[in-house]
Structure 1
Amino acid sequence: MTAGRKYWLGADEGMTFTPSGENSAYTEYADTVPRAMTEHSRTMDPGVFEVVGRGVYQVFGYALSALTLVVGTDGLILIDPPEDVEKGRRQLEEVRKISDLPIRAIVYSHWHTDHYAGVKAFVTQEQVDAGECVIIAHRDFMANVLAGNASGTGPLLAARVEYSLGSLLETGPEGRVNGGLGPDFVMRTISLIAPTVLVDDRLEHTVAGVRMVHSWAPSEAIDELITWFPDLGVLQSAEVIQGESFPNLHTIRGSRYRDPQQWFKSIDRHLRPLPAEFMIPSHGRPVAGRAEVAKVLRDYRDAISYVYDQTLRQMNRGLLPDDLVREVRLPAHLAASEWLGDFYGGVPHSVREIYVGEFGWFDSDPTSLDPLHPAESSRRYVDLMGGREAVLAEARKAADGGDHQWAAELARHLVRIDTTDREARQVKADALRRIGYTTPNSNWRNYYLTAARELDGTIDYSRKLSLDAPDQIAALPATALLEGLRVRIDPARSANAERTLHLHLTDSGQDLALHVRRGVLEAVPGLPEHPDLAVELTKPVVLGMVYRDLYGTLAQAVDAGQAKITRGTPADLREFLGWFDPLDPAPIRLSDR
């Protein structure tokens, strides 16, 4: 940010900014970085915004998310710890420059890692257990965290996060430029403390003398909570307003359908009626001024509504996803908004998701019902085009002429046929890299560049993320983790199996029955009537089983006296646990297709 420039958005008065530290985004102009992307990076200098006279602050630019701080009469309220403990500690330094009061409440606005995983930089589990600090979240928060780790789609989600957020890339002109919603996203130490105060639809209460109202506003996440401070005139908009970018109506890293209609109606119902004089988002800089806040909210909901409504309008004319991308564009007045840039979410991939979300994958052409496998289809196309050498030559010709998308599509056929074809992989990688250098959207850029490195063998897997951090896992219910074995049962190995395992957790007193019936696992809380097998064990043993080696961990625990087989034999248990897939530590490859 240049000297003399107003750092926040909206009105000139009512807010101050104190810079502190170096910007961790890449901020230099380069031929491999679109100018708009560089200028977006330059809005991410770290520092502290203060809503003057209200005791409200935003600690900005130290992580993908920004921390909201409210100073009460005898304590502090924090909203959205960052993605790791290290960034949280840096934020805490800024918090302590403002106040040394104890932290009385922490709000997780939703279940995504960058809104809770740095919590132990601020408070300990012991402080929460002692009632010194409450943790506030939506009632479904823990269930959503669980679904996003190894008990659900965690392994694939982690791989796709690495692609879309660029964590396998270095920061620089040929790598990661910024995090789209913040300067960077690299997670080190992930922590979690389970919520102690759960919000259903709405909760109004007072903490540290500060009255606040939490409202459930499903949008970017299904469990999203906004927080309104009625006596301060401040709205903490969470990620309902998703930073200074068009919202991620769909995230290319993968998620369940984010209903755009639900999203803009959440803005209409829960945010726009509030007389907010200031808005503090979880991503992006704050907004000052009642009229300016109202305009941001209106433009944001209008952009979502426009894309959704026009997509359905064109669908009703018979257009398919590829056609919709050409037809549905933001109108000029919305495209020009500083809150709707092409830096994180994007209209083209949102339009495609709306089609699938509303109608499913079938495009009404019966040819799509049972198509050839892509590898077989590619083999036939390559034969038609004159064979491998002809296709490779045409791909290189396209690349030399600057038609990098066509070059990548041609080379893709060759890679599908033979994933070890180094020349084809290199042509595709070079094409993707050139495309990536031209897009200001951080998710698209990172996906292009990471895929290119996977294809040409220059990818650095030592930077690999693990969403299954020990501290996070320890906070999850053991019985729920065991239920997650449903997605790991091998139907071939368990095709003729019908057996029940009773697990008694001695440290919590919980009981769980795992019923295997010919390729299906049913997990039922409580005592089974006639189990075939039974084991007494502790939660740490369960964690080792789920995240390391199912039978090996249990056998070691039995030998060490940390678990006890009370029905059946070790051989029986080895057979039972052998029906489930082990976790594969190898990276999931996404670009060989």
Structure 2
Amino acid sequence: MQPRRAHVSRIWFVALGLLLAGVTYAGLAAAPNGPKPATEATRRANAALLQSLPFSDRADFEDAERGLIARPHTLTITDGDGNVVWDLEPFKKFIRRDAPAPDTVNPSLWRQSQLNLIYGLFKVTERVYQVRGFDLANITFIKGDRGWIVMDPLLTVETARAAHALVKQHLGDRPIVAVIYSHSHPDHYGGVRGLVDEAAVRAGRVRIIAPEGFLAHAVSEMVLAGPAMTRRAAYMYGTFLPRDPQGTVGSGLGMANASGTVSLIAPTQSITKTGQELTIDGVKMVFQLTPNTEAPAEMNTYFPQFRAMWMAENTTHTLHNVLTLRGAQVRDALAWAKYIDETIGLYGDAIEVKFQAHHWPMWGKANVRSYLEKQRDLYKYIHDQSVHMLNFGYVGPEIAEYLQLPPDLAQYWPNRGYYGTVRHNARAVYQRYMGFYSGNPSDLDVLPQEPAARKYVEYMGGEAAAIERARADFERGEYRWVAEVLRHVVFANPDSAAGKELLADAYEQLGYQAESGPWRAVYLQGAFELRQGVPSGSAAQTAGPDTLRALTPALLFDLMAVRLNGARAAATRLKLDIHFTEPKERYELTVAHGVLNYGRRSAEVADADASLALSKMTLIALQAGETSLDQAIAAGALKLRGNRAAVEELFGLLDQFPQAFNIVTP
């Protein structure tokens, strides 16, 4: 198998990332052609959108500013070594509150970025405060009788600590008595050690509360496919794009991802059913479990004393992703809609204010109820009508092209596609029900991209003819088609300078027109890499010791099985006895038929080729290449009996995944 990659480097073992803050473009020449201005077709498209939406409605701006207590004049957060982990200043230089959208930015996305740039400490309602704009997500502080209950402590230790400092400065220094994780995505738990000490948790002075299944999902989502997801996340978030009108203007869900230290303290209590109640420090909370919605483990929380509803990330001020562009399992749009409907049924008559893990709150019973109903119907409409159309024989791209929201849903600002989009969510619904195959026999066994591209270009009359026709279509503003055609040109001939530059130009104009932050980032990142090349360097170690300790032995072995090169291992037969000293568990691990299998054992595996006694963390280090057998044995971290060659053979069969591979070129 010929891998499509720029280079192969040593794997950083788990979840190569929640983000790619540490990957750089090293040693690459400056782009021969930098970003281009908006074309007339792009200016017309953006101007038309400006006329089609209710931009005179400024209620969101009033809500986003409501309750402001304080905001620092500048917001740049650094770690202990002085490295910048969060910086709003580049965005503030060009995204002005009342400035019209540049012609290189979709005016609806520009509006969303103006709103997301409203940052600071806010009072939501009685005893409920939020710090917004200190990370991709919000952090919420609920005032108890003597201390704080914190909802979702951001992605990194550094940003959480900075938000807490702002709270202490303006609201006083009170102890944190509980931390609640609303769901299993890292931007909602990773900053916990910036707020509380694990010793206090173990001593019972701080409670950590999360929905059932939180820990397993928090540590597993990006393990098996972590390198690929990380590479795609660089596109989704525009990691390497400049922060300017021709680069990233925010993700739609927030401005950016923080880079810094991601931590995790395991929950001390799980919420196991809807309606479960807790009273902590005088604050009563009623929980609603919403599994398999925006996250596999997620929950909303109602505060009856304040008539306030915390919606986690199940409703925000954007259409969310049914399938995230970085890659993940398809989410259940129907379940998502039903859980929002359940929220309305359980609490809708009482809610006076709703707030959530991203964006700004909303006030007023009728206003909140209407919002929840329209968010519910947004996901329900996309689900129902996608399934409706697939039952008429339409396939994913056709459904995406023809599915249109009704005006009442489409004209509602919180339903706009700043993060998810109707188009890719409709295709996700199709994928969930029907899979990759369209039903057309020609789609059953398609050629790989490169040989197919060579035939396409041959049929188009050759590279020069294809580029000439594409230039004419580009001048007509047919950028989607130009991108489709020139993709084949570039995959047929990756050295085609003219093909790559014109393809980059088409991607760029599509990015300038995109209403979705991730769509804009994907297009502009694609254009950037066509001009600049593929990233090199190393990924930031965002999955630190906390995450690694939480991995189960089974998940470690599953990852080893994914890393095993099946073709090279086809003739290998070996069996190992793995005795973990921490946790105290024993496993039998076998390789046969190119497959790694494992099973829990209660006693030593008598016929093993070798026996290893080691901790789980030592096995992690061995897999990651951070230590060797000799080093582990010398340090006393590993005791090995039997055939050492069998152990060496196993580790020699584990491939190292690339930190960066080609996407827009073969």
- Shorter-chain TM-score tier: over 0.9
The match for 2:182 is 109
The match for 1:554 is 629
Question: How big is the shift at 1:18?
Answer: 2.5
The match for 2:209 is 136
The match for 2:620 is 543
The match for 2:360 is 285
The match for 1:178 is 250
Question: How big is the shift at 1:267?
Answer: 0.8
Specify the code of the residue in structure 2 equivalent to 1:65. Answer: A
Aligned length: 581
The match for 1:239 is 313
Question: How big is the shift at 1:467?
Answer: 4.5
| Distance 1:462-1:62 versus aligned 2 partners, 3 A rule | farther
Task: Pick one of 639, 642, 650 that aligns with 1:568.
Answer: 642
Higher mean displacement: 30-39 or 62-71: 30-39
| Distance 1:345-1:85 versus aligned 2 partners, 3 A rule | same
Task: Pick one of 127, 142, 148 that aligns with 1:76.
Answer: 148
Question: How big is the shift at 1:299?
Answer: 0.7
Maintained 8 Å contact 1:533/1:568: yes
| Distance 1:569-1:462 versus aligned 2 partners, 3 A rule | closer
Counterpart mapping for 1:125-164 below 5 A: 125-149=198-222, 151-164=223-236
| Distance 1:265-1:407 versus aligned 2 partners, 3 A rule | same
Question: How big is the shift at 1:419?
Answer: 2.7
Structure 1: where are the runs of 5+ without partners? none
SS of match in other structure, 2:414 = coil
| Distance 1:410-1:51 versus aligned 2 partners, 3 A rule | closer
| Same amino acid, percent of matched pairs | 31
Maintained 8 Å contact 2:612/2:639: yes
1:260 aligns with 2:333: yes
- Structure 2: how far apart are the matches of 1:255 and 1:508? 29
CA shift digits 1:305-341 (9 cap, x unpaired): 1121122222222222232223211111111212112
| Distance 1:403-1:230 versus aligned 2 partners, 3 A rule | same
SS of match in other structure, 1:135 = strand
The match for 1:56 is 128
Task: Pick one of 208, 220, 227 that aligns with 2:301.
Answer: 227
The match for 2:69 is 18
Maintained 8 Å contact 1:168/1:461: no
The match for 2:79 is none
CA shift digits 1:5-27 (9 cap, x unpaired): 875549x9xx6222413572451
| Distance 1:515-1:196 versus aligned 2 partners, 3 A rule | farther
Task: Pick one of 577, 580, 584 that aligns with 2:654.
Answer: 580
Specify the code of the residue in structure 2 equivalent to 1:411. Answer: L
SS of match in other structure, 2:302 = strand
Maintained 8 Å contact 1:167/1:465: no
- Structure 1: how far apart are the matches of 2:661 and 2:595? 25
| Distance 1:7-1:18 versus aligned 2 partners, 3 A rule | farther
- Structure 1: how far apart are the matches of 2:281 and 2:178? 8
The match for 2:593 is 518
Question: How big is the shift at 1:432?
Answer: 0.6
The match for 1:529 is 605
Question: How big is the shift at 1:463?
Answer: 8.7
Question: How big is the shift at 1:556?
Answer: 1.2
- Structure 1: how far apart are the matches of 2:487 and 2:338? 41
Question: How big is the shift at 1:413?
Answer: 0.7
Counterpart mapping for 1:342-491 below 5 A: 342-457=417-532, 461=536, 464=539, 466-478=541-553, 480-491=555-566
SS of match in other structure, 1:515 = strand
CA shift digits 1:40-86 (9 cap, x unpaired): 1111211222134x211121121111112111112211111112222
1:503 aligns with 2:578: yes
Specify the code of the residue in structure 1 equivalent to 2:531. Answer: D
Specify the code of the residue in structure 2 equivalent to 1:20. Answer: R
- Structure 2: how far apart are the matches of 1:132 and 1:437? 51
The match for 2:81 is none
CA shift digits 1:81-124 (9 cap, x unpaired): 11222221221122213242211111111111211111111112
The match for 1:30 is 102
Question: How big is the shift at 1:386?
Answer: 1.3
Specify the code of the residue in structure 2 equivalent to 1:73. Answer: D
Task: Pick one of 268, 276, 296 that aligns with 1:196.
Answer: 268
Specify the code of the residue in structure 2 equivalent to 1:157. Answer: M
Structure 2: where are the runs of 5+ without partners? 1-55, 76-87
Question: How big is the shift at 1:285?
Answer: 0.5
Maintained 8 Å contact 1:548/1:583: no
SS of match in other structure, 2:488 = helix
Maintained 8 Å contact 1:422/1:456: no
| Distance 1:323-1:188 versus aligned 2 partners, 3 A rule | same
| Distance 1:539-1:345 versus aligned 2 partners, 3 A rule | same
Maintained 8 Å contact 1:167/1:186: no
- Could you say which structure has the greater relative contact order, defined with CA pairs below 8 angstroms and 6 or more residues apart? 2
- Structure 1: how far apart are the matches of 2:212 and 2:609? 35
- Structure 1: how far apart are the matches of 2:160 and 2:565? 41
Maintained 8 Å contact 2:352/2:364: yes
- Structure 2: how far apart are the matches of 1:8 and 1:138? 33
Counterpart mapping for 1:302-321 below 5 A: 302-321=377-396
- Structure 1: how far apart are the matches of 2:175 and 2:60? 32
- Structure 1: how far apart are the matches of 2:495 and 2:298? 44
Specify the code of the residue in structure 1 equivalent to 2:290. Answer: A
Task: Pick one of 567, 575, 579 that aligns with 1:492.
Answer: 567
Specify the code of the residue in structure 2 equivalent to 1:418. Answer: N
1:91 aligns with 2:163: yes
- Structure 1: how far apart are the matches of 2:634 and 2:539? 34
Maintained 8 Å contact 1:228/1:236: yes
Question: How big is the shift at 1:371?
Answer: 2.3
Higher mean displacement: 198-207 or 476-485: 476-485
| Distance 1:529-1:473 versus aligned 2 partners, 3 A rule | closer
Maintained 8 Å contact 2:535/2:660: no
- Structure 1: how far apart are the matches of 2:61 and 2:476? 42
Task: Pick one of 29, 39, 50 that aligns with 2:111.
Answer: 39
- Structure 1: how far apart are the matches of 2:60 and 2:506? 40
